[in-house]
C-alpha cells in the first residue's frame, strides 16, 4: 500500500502519521475557527447592545432585557462608562434630529414625554435637544423654538469634556441605573413619533432678521403687558363678576389691537405677515372641555383650532396678533375656570357614590360655551366701534384690498373678511384631510348649570371700556 493511501486512511480514522495529526479533533478545530466571528471591540459591543435594547423596548414596551442589562454592567466599569454614555448621546441626538424632520418642536416633545414617561425622561430629552441644537447658530433657529427651550429649561449646562448623558447621571441621585433606561425609553418614544405639520423652518434654515414679506412683529409688548395686567387682576380676585369684567376688558383691548394690525397690514403690505400656526398643550384631565374653551377663545379672536387628541395639543391657526391674544386669554381663563370649579367642591349621588368627575366635566363644558359667547360679544362690540370710527374719520378710503370706491364704513368689514379667507386657506394647506367632530356634551345637569352661572354672573360690558383704556402693566 502506498504512502499516500495510508495517509488518507489515517486521516479518516483520526490517527497521526509522521507526528502530524490528520483528522479528528484538529480538523474540526480548524473548521470551527473559520466559523467563529471575530472578537468585537468594546465600542462595537456597546453599539450592538444599544440597538438590541431599543428593539426589545419597542416590542415589549417595558422591562430591561438582556442587552440593557449588559449596557448597565458595562457602564459601571471604568472603560465602559464613557463608551456607553457617548453612544446613548449619539442615539438621542439622532432621534431628536429625526423628530424635527417630522414636524415636532421642543415644547411638543417635552409635553409628550411628560405625559408618557415622566420627569427624568423630560430632563434627558431636554439635554438631548439642547445638545442637538447647539450645533446650529442661534440666528438659524426659529425664535419660537428658542423661546420654547427657555420655557422648559433646556440648555447645555454640562462641561465641554463630558456628554449630556454622563452629566445627567452624575447629577441624578440614582445615577446610571436610572438614566440609562430613561435614555433608552426616550429614544424609543422619539423613534415612534408620527409625522406632524411643519410649522416653522427647521434648525439651520431660519433667519431672525427676515420675516415673510419683510414684515415686522405685529404684537406690541406694551399692549400685551396691559392685557396681562388685566388678566392678573381677574385671576387674583375672589369676586367672580369682577374677574369676568377684567377678562372682558382684556379681550376688548386685544380685539382693538388686532383691528389696528389688520388695517395696517391692508394699507402697508410690507408690514404684513401671512397666517401662521402654533401648538398649545392641553393637560389632563377634562381635555375635551379645555379644548372647547380654547376653541371659544380662538373663535373670538378670529383663529381656527385643530385638536390632536392623542398627542395632547391643539394647533391654533391665525395671524400673529390674534394667536397671541388667544394663547394669553386662554391661559388665564383656564386658571379662572379651574379655581371656580374647585370652589364648587365635590359631588355624590343618592347612593353616596362620587360623581365629581361628571360634575366637573359638565361644569367646564358649560363654562367654555358661555365664556366663548361672551368673548365673541366683546369682540363684536369692539369691531362695531372701530367700524363707526373709520366711517366717521374716513380712514381706509385708499385701502388697496378694497379699492378707492369702497365706502369708509365698509373697509374694516372687507379687511377682516379677507383675513378670515387667508386663515381658512392656511388651515386647508396644513390639514387637507381635516375632519370636524363634536367634542361631546354634558351628562351632569347640576354641573352644567353651575358652570354656566360661573361664566354669566355679571354684565361684562358695564366697566369694560374704562378697564381696557386705563389699565397699565
pLDDT exceeds cutoff 70 at 219: no
| pLDDT winner (highest mean) among 129-133, 238-242, 288-292 | 129-133
| pLDDT winner (highest mean) among 53-62, 150-159, 439-448 | 150-159
**Across 260-270, average pLDDT:** 76
As given in the structure block, the three cell numbers for residue 78 are 471604568
Position 23 scores a pLDDT of 47
Q: Concatenated DSSP letters for 236-255?
A: H-S-HHHHHHHHHHHHHHHH
φ, ψ for residue 96 (rounded to 5)?
-65, -45
Position 210 scores a pLDDT of 44
pLDDT exceeds cutoff 60 at 329: yes
Eight-state DSSP code of residue 409: G
**Residue closest to 333 by CA, chosen among 381, 300, 380:** 300
The alpha-helical segments, DSSP class H, found in 102-197 are 106-116, 119-133, 143-152, 164-171, 176-191
Give the tens place of pLDDT for each residue, 61-98: 777 789 999 999 999 998 999 999 999 999 999 999 99
* pTM summary value: 0.75
Q: Is residue 382 within 8 Å of 259, Cβ to Cβ?
A: yes
Alpha carbons 199 and 278: distance in angstroms, whole number: 7
Q: Flag the least confident range among 264-278, 368-382, 415-429.
A: 264-278
Position 47 scores a pLDDT of 95
Give the tens place of pLDDT for each residue, 156-208: 999 999 999 999 999 988 899 999 999 999 999 999 999 999 999 999 998 75
Q: How many CB atoms lie within 10 A of CB 411?
A: 25
Q: Is residue 467 within 8 Å of 249, Cβ to Cβ?
A: yes
Alpha carbons 77 and 96: distance in angstroms, whole number: 28
List C-alpha distances in Å: 240 to 233, 333, 337, 360. Answer: 11, 12, 10, 18
Which residues does 194 contact at the CB level (< 8 Å), separation at least 6?
102, 311
Where along the chain do its domains lie? 42-191, 215-470
Give the tens place of pLDDT for each residue, 108-120: 999 999 888 889 9
3 compared with 293, residue with greater pLDDT: 293
Name the β-bridge partners of 277: 317
Average pLDDT in the chain: 80
Alpha carbons 38 and 44: distance in angstroms, whole number: 11
Alpha carbons 328 and 312: distance in angstroms, whole number: 18
Q: Flag the least confident range among 25-39, 268-282, 393-407.
A: 393-407
393-395-399 Cα angle (round to 5): 160
Eight-state DSSP code of residue 39: P
312 compared with 239, residue with greater pLDDT: 312
List C-alpha distances in Å: 348 to 139, 382, 444, 447. Answer: 56, 43, 12, 12
Alpha carbons 174 and 162: distance in angstroms, whole number: 19
**Residue closest to 271 by CA, chosen among 213, 215, 320, 220:** 215
Alpha carbons 451 and 341: distance in angstroms, whole number: 8
Which residues does 461 contact at the CB level (< 8 Å), separation at least 6?
248, 377, 378, 381
235 compared with 93, residue with greater pLDDT: 93
Amino acid at each position: 500500500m502506498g504512502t499516500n493511501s495510508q495517509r488518507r486512511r489515517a486521516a479518516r480514522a483520526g490517527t497521526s502519521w509522521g507526528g502530524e495529526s490528520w483528522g479528528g479533533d484538529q480538523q474540526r478545530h480548524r473548521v470551527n475557527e473559520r466559523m467563529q466571528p471575530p472578537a468585537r471591540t468594546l465600542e462595537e459591543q456597546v453599539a450592538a447592545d444599544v440597538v438590541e435594547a431599543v428593539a426589545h423596548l419597542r416590542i415589549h414596551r417595558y422591562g430591561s432585557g438582556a442587552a440593557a442589562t449588559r449596557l448597565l454592567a458595562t457602564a459601571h466599569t471604568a472603560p465602559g462608562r464613557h463608551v456607553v454614555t457617548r453612544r446613548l448621546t449619539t442615539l438621542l441626538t439622532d432621534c431628536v434630529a429625526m423628530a424635527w424632520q417630522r414636524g415636532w418642536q421642543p415644547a411638543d416633545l417635552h409635553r409628550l414625554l411628560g405625559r408618557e414617561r415622566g420627569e427624568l425622561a423630560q430632563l434627558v430629552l431636554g439635554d438631548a435637544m439642547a445638545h442637538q441644537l447647539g450645533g446650529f447658530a442661534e440666528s438659524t433657529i426659529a425664535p419660537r423654538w428658542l423661546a420654547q427651550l427657555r420655557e422648559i429649561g433646556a440648555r447645555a449646562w454640562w462641561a465641554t469634556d463630558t456628554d449630556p448623558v454622563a452629566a445627567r447621571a452624575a447629577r441624578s441621585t440614582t445615577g446610571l441605573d436610572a438614566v440609562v433606561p430613561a435614555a433608552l425609553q426616550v429614544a424609543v418614544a422619539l423613534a415612534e413619533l408620527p409625522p406632524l405639520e411643519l410649522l416653522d423652518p427647521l434648525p439651520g434654515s431660519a433667519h431672525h432678521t427676515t420675516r415673510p414679506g419683510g414684515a415686522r412683529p405685529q404684537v406690541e409688548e406694551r399692549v400685551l403687558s396691559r392685557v396681562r395686567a388685566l388678566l392678573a387682576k381677574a385671576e387674583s380676585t375672589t369676586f367672580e363678576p369682577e374677574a369676568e369684567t377684567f377678562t372682558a376688558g382684556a379681550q376688548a383691548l386685544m380685539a382693538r389691537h388686532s383691528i389696528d394690525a389688520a388695517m395696517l397690514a391692508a394699507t402697508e403690505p410690507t408690514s404684513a405677515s401671512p397666517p401662521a400656526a402654533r401648538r398649545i398643550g392641553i393637560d389632563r384631565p377634562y381635555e375635551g372641555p379645555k379644548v372647547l374653551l380654547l376653541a371659544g377663545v380662538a373663535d373670538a379672536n378670529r383663529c381656527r383650532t385643530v385638536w390632536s387628541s392623542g398627542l395632547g395639543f391643539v394647533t391654533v391657526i391665525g395671524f400673529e396678533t390674534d394667536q397671541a391674544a388667544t394663547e394669553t386669554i386662554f391661559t388665564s381663563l383656564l386658571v379662572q375656570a379651574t379655581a371656580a370649579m374647585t370652589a364648587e367642591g365635590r359631588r355624590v349621588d343618592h347612593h353616596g357614590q362620587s360623581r365629581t368627575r361628571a360634575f366637573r366635566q359638565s361644569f367646564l363644558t358649560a363654562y367654555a360655551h358661555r365664556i366663548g359667547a361672551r368673548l365673541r360679544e366683546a369682540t363684536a362690540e369692539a369691531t362695531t366701534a372701530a367700524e363707526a370710527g373709520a366711517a366717521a374719520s374716513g380712514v381706509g378710503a385708499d385701502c388697496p384690498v378694497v379699492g378707492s370706491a369702497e365706502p369708509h364704513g365698509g373697509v374694516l368689514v372687507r379687511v377682516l373678511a379677507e383675513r378670515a379667507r387667508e386663515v381658512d386657506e392656511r388651515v386647508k394647506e396644513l390639514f387637507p384631510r381635516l375632519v370636524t367632530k363634536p367634542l361631546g356634551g354634558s351628562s351632569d345637569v347640576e354641573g352644567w348649570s353651575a358652570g354656566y352661572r360661573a361664566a354669566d354672573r355679571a354684565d361684562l360690558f358695564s366697566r369694560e371700556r374704562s378697564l381696557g383704556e386705563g389699565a397699565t402693566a
